[in-house]
Homo-oligomer: A and B are copies of this chain.
């Protein structure tokens, strides 16, 4: 059975007892591994990383929807991260030998079940998109059409599955298929949201910034700091090292400094060694020099 990852982003990052219930729901499917749970109170969002077969993941996700939709009311939800659903985005990611086609198929199968079981409108994005205008998650999410309880009238914005009325507490859900990305956030020494937005605008690819980088500026109330929140969708094009370097330059040009950064969720080991090669200007690939890898596979 080929292995997929699934990285649901759930609109709850504050209440530990709820987050624990999400994890328990997923773990109830014994064939699925819950690899990581990352929660942020300011974003008010939790990112779960699961691995398993297509069927196992779909069962686990349906269990997650069940508890998340019971717990979360998007009408009263607050948080600095944009979101359109209680279970906001659900990307499937091919791992190892599995293909993007398998990830797309898993996304489509889950989408049908979510719509029929929970009455939530489902939109497919990235590789799972059914129309080109829905490939880009940012464009899809920035739509103002998805306010809880709203009726979606434009034909081109009707969901792929489910009712045309946005669910009053669960919103809509965006289900996709994509490659593994690195979620990388950089904290600035300023509480000026506008500065973080300017830096984000300067580094993001769609403005001619760094290739394969999506970025937004947010303000973290609990930290009293602005943050540049990035998705590095191809670390071989732009690694965390290059992204940080550019953010530092753009921040300095605006009179502020980077104080810290974080990787949200998991990162492929190759992305770490690739970053290390860049950081140290290595002539050789440190990814082929890891002691523990050699001990596991001396033929490397």
Q: Which residues of A contact B (CB under 8 A)?
A: 3, 5, 33-36, 49, 51, 95, 180, 187, 240-241, 244, 258-263, 265-269, 272-273, 275-276, 279-284, 286, 289-295, 298
Known: A260-B283, A261-B282, A272-B286. 4 other contacts (CB 8 A): A33-B298, A259-B281, A267-B286, A269-B292
In the complex the two chains form, what is the Cα distance from A284 to B260 in whole Å?
10
* Nearest CB of B to A95, in Å: 8
Closest chain B residue, CB of each to CB of A290: B269
* Nearest CB of B to A39, in Å: 12
In the complex the two chains form, what is the Cα distance from A260 to B284 in whole Å?
10
In the complex the two chains form, what is the Cα distance from A240 to B281 in whole Å?
11
Q: List 24 A-B contacts (CB under 8 A).
A: A33-B294, A33-B298, A35-B295, A35-B298, A95-B295, A241-B279, A260-B282, A261-B281, A262-B282, A262-B284, A263-B284, A266-B289, A266-B290, A268-B290, A268-B291, A269-B290, A269-B292, A269-B293, A272-B273, A272-B276, A272-B286, A272-B290, A275-B276, A275-B280
| B290:A51 contact, CB within 8 angstroms | no
Task: Determine the chain B residues whose CB is within 8 A of the CB of A279 once the complex forms.
Answer: 241, 275-276, 279
Closest chain B residue, CB of each to CB of A241: B279
Task: Determine the chain B residues whose CB is within 8 A of the CB of A298 once the complex forms.
Answer: 33-35, 51
Task: Determine the chain B residues whose CB is within 8 A of the CB of A268 once the complex forms.
Answer: 290-292
| A286:B273 contact, CB within 8 angstroms | no
Task: Determine the chain B residues whose CB is within 8 A of the CB of A265 once the complex forms.
Answer: 289
Please judge, given known A-B contacts A275-B276, A279-B275, A280-B241, whether A291 and B180 are in contact too, CB under 8 Å.
yes
| B272:A260 contact, CB within 8 angstroms | no
In the complex the two chains form, what is the Cα distance from A286 to B295 in whole Å?
21
| A280:B35 contact, CB within 8 angstroms | no
Closest chain B residue, CB of each to CB of A259: B281
| B259:A36 contact, CB within 8 angstroms | no
| B240:A294 contact, CB within 8 angstroms | no
Task: Determine the chain B residues whose CB is within 8 A of the CB of A293 once the complex forms.
Answer: 269
| A295:B240 contact, CB within 8 angstroms | no
| A269:B291 contact, CB within 8 angstroms | yes
